[in-house]
Amino acid sequence: EANVGAPQVSYRETFRASTQARGFFKRQSGGKGQFGDVWIEFTPNEEGKGFEFENAIVGGVVPREFIPAVEKGLVESMANGVLAGYPMVDVKAKLYDGSYHDVDSSETAFKIAASLALKEAAKSAQPAILEPMMLVTITVPEENLGDVMGHVTARRGRVDGMEAHGNSQIVRAYVPLAEMFGYATVLRSASQGRGT
C-alpha cells in the first residue's frame, strides 16, 4: 500500500515540565459500577528515550492486577497526544498513589483513570509539539549568498556555519522539515541552476 500526495511531516508531542496529576473515574449505573483512582507523576524524559512507566505503589493502594491497565491507559492516550493529536514521546510516568473499590474496580476503570491523569497533567506540564529539523548543507556561488541566507531565515531556519570553497560558499543550517519541501527548485532558480 502506498500513500500518494504531498509529503507529510511526522510531528510528536512531549511534556517540558514535571507535574503530578490525579485521574479519578467513578461511574454507578444500576449493578456493578466502575471505580479507578490514580496519582501519577509525569516528568520529561531524555530525548530519544521514549515513554517509561514506573510502578512506585507501596502497600497495595492500587492492586497489582490493575497496574498493567494503568500503563496501557497511558500508552493508548499518549498515542493521540494532548495538544494536537500527535503521538507523545520522551515522558516518564511514575504511578505512586491511588485507591480502589473491592467490588467496582476493574482494568477498564483504571485505564480510564490513567488517561484522565494524563489530560489533567497537560494543564501544568507545559506540553509542546516537537518538529523534525533537517541539517541542510547548501553550496551556492558567492553572489547568491544573500538570497540563500534570506531563504533560510524565511523558512524558520538557523545558520550553523559557513565556509568558503573557491568561488562558492557552503552554508550549514538547521531548517524545519516542513519548510524544505520544494526548496531545491527555489534554490536552482535563485542561483541560475548553480546552487545545490
Q: What is the pLDDT of residues 64-98, one digit of tens each?
A: 999 999 999 999 999 999 999 999 999 999 999 99
Residues 116 and 179 reside in one and the same domain: no
Residues 132 and 10: beta-carbon distance below 8 Å: yes
pLDDT score, position 37: 94
Higher-confidence position of 145 and 125:
125
| Total number of domains in the chain | 2
pLDDT score, position 2: 79
For 35, the grid coordinates are: 471505580
54 lies in some domain = yes
List Cβ neighbours of 196 (8 Å cut-off, separation of 6 or more): 138, 139, 140, 187
Residues 121 and 138 reside in one and the same domain: no
Residues 19 and 80 reside in one and the same domain: yes
pLDDT value at 110 more than 80: yes
Quickly state the pLDDT bin for 125 (edges 50, 70, 90).
very high
28 lies in some domain = yes
38 lies in some domain = yes
Quickly state the pLDDT bin for 193 (edges 50, 70, 90).
confident
Residues 49 and 37: beta-carbon distance below 8 Å: no
Quickly state the pLDDT bin for 148 (edges 50, 70, 90).
confident
18 lies in some domain = yes
Residues 122 and 139 reside in one and the same domain: no
Give the C-alpha distances (Å, rounded to integers) separating 26 from 64, 79, 153: 20, 24, 52
Residues 124 and 138 reside in one and the same domain: no
Residues 121 and 142 reside in one and the same domain: no
Residues 175 and 119 reside in one and the same domain: no
pLDDT score, position 11: 94
CATH of the domain at 167: 3.30.70.240
Q: Examine the fold and report which residue of 104, 129, 154 is the final residue of a domain before the chain moves on.
A: 129
For 54, the grid coordinates are: 514506573
16 lies in some domain = yes
**Residue numbers of the domain that contains 33:** 12-129
Task: Report which residue type is found at 196.
Answer: T
Residues 20 and 84 reside in one and the same domain: yes
93 lies in some domain = yes
Task: Report the distance separating Cα 137 and Cα 126, nearest Å.
Answer: 33
pLDDT score, position 78: 96
pLDDT value at 119 more than 90: yes
2 lies in some domain = no
36 lies in some domain = yes
